[in-house]
Amino acid sequence: MISAMYFSDEPVVSSVVKFNEYGTNKSRLSEIVHERISVAQGPANVGPAIQYAIDNLFTRESGLRDDRVPKAIFLLIANANPTGDVRRASAEARRRGIRVYAMAYGLDGFKFDRKKLVEVTGDEKNVFVFDRETGNLSAEQIKELNNHFCSNPCDHVMHEHE
């Protein structure tokens, strides 16, 4: 189950994809994401995005099953350094059992403030910085991500089991 949204300075409500919006139709999910989500340019005000997700996406009304909350994941995909206060919202997410991760793509030599990304995730192990786009990750980088998210494949929400 996946939920997604686009944000820059503030969350863009019209971009929200809720857990219960596409059912089990992965093709429809892909269509919705491509229709609503675009690459942000400018500030990455992560605190309000995390808080919006907590209040509006990680809810039963949005399709998140109650038994998944302790295993839910908030994955920030960034192409800019986070701005603003991220600590409060990130700490609230973790208090509610939502694991927070950051995947940052430093294209054209862009350097991320790793300390700020750790503020977002609360844990250095949950920060991944790459110097290329997702479609161009090396086999080793993909393996690292798979090992991290799938070390116990039944202990996450990245896929469903029959």
Contact 93, 118 (CB under 8 A): no
In the chain the domains, ranked by start, together with CATH numbers, are 4-149 (3.40.50.410)
- Predicted pLDDT of residue 137: 64
The dihedral of CA 98, 153, 114, 52: what is its sign? Answer: negative
Q: Quickly state the pLDDT bin for 91 (edges 50, 70, 90).
A: very high
The length of the chain is 162
Residues 51 and 89: beta-carbon distance below 8 Å: yes
d(C-alpha 76, C-alpha 16), whole Å: 14
14 CA to centre of own chain: 17
Query: What global pTM score does this model have?
Result: 0.74
- What is the rounded CA–CA span in Å between residue 124 and residue 132? 20
pLDDT, tens digit (0-9, with 9 covering 90-100), for 122-161: 988 888 887 765 556 667 766 776 676 665 444 444 444 3
Query: In degrees to the nearest 10, what's the CA dihedral of 108, 113, 119, 124?
Result: 80
* Cα 120 from Cα 49, distance rounded (Å): 11
* Helix orientation angle between 114-121 and 87-95, rounded to the nearest 10 degrees: 40
- pLDDT band of residue 90 (cuts 50, 70, 90) is very high
- Rounded Cα distance between 144 and 162, Å, is 25
The pLDDT assigned to 118 comes to: 93
